[in-house]
Amino acid sequence: MEMLGLLKIRVHKGINLPLKDTFHSDPYVVVSMGDQRVKTRCKKNNCNPVWDDELTLALKYPDVPIVLTVYDKDTFSRDDKIGEAEIDIKPYLEALEMSYHQDLPDGVKVDKVQPGRDSCLAKESFIIWENGKMIQDMTLMLQNVQCGEVKLQIEVIPKMLSEDAFFNVI
């Protein structure tokens, strides 16, 4: 399938990540979608790391899960998995399609996404039109671990073949 656009993921920070080594953790984030995989820098000795890294993936299939996994970097052994979360971009893509031909002022909340049983959202998330683009800030609860969250922002840059080509495949 042809690429629909680019998915930008700005990984801001980790909050209250658990210790994986005796005295510290050296966390980094891996984001994967299908056969694509990108990662942030490692932050040494920090359970509340600030990465502020921008990662970009090619968006080919809107239904392929986007998995965020936090690891602890180890020197002499395999890196430990701290936790993981899934990013649901379907509400974002629906809001993008709905507002595509509208002239929206900056700061407009296009949609609100509530946390739920099938979601990794820690709290409600707003999809906002800002500076000529649509963004969604979210805080994800890490799964399969006692604590830890990751704050990030997503943005899709649609590939424009024709005016409506992007939305015909969603």
Average pLDDT over residues 69-95: 91
- pLDDT of 37 higher than 60: yes
Question: pLDDT category, 38, cuts 50, 70, 90?
Answer: very high
DSSP the chain: ----EEEEEEEEEEESPPP-SSS---EEEEEEETTEEEE----TT-SS-EEEEEEEEEE--TTS-EEEEEEE--SSSPPEEEEEEEE--HHHHHHHHHHTTS-PPTTEEEEEE---TT--BSS-EEEEEETTEEEEEEEEEPBSSSS-EEEEEEEEEE--SSTTTTTT--
**Does the pLDDT value for residue 117 go beyond 80?**
yes
Q: What is the pLDDT of residue 163?
A: 47
- In whole angstroms, what is the distance from residue 94 CA to residue 100 CA? 10
- The pLDDT of 14-19, averaged and rounded, is 94
What is d(CA 68, CA 84) in angstroms, rounded to the nearest whole number? Answer: 5
Assess whether pLDDT exceeds 80 at residue 159: no
* Order of strands across the sheet that contains 133-141: 50-59, 5-15, 149-158, 133-141, 125-130, 108-113
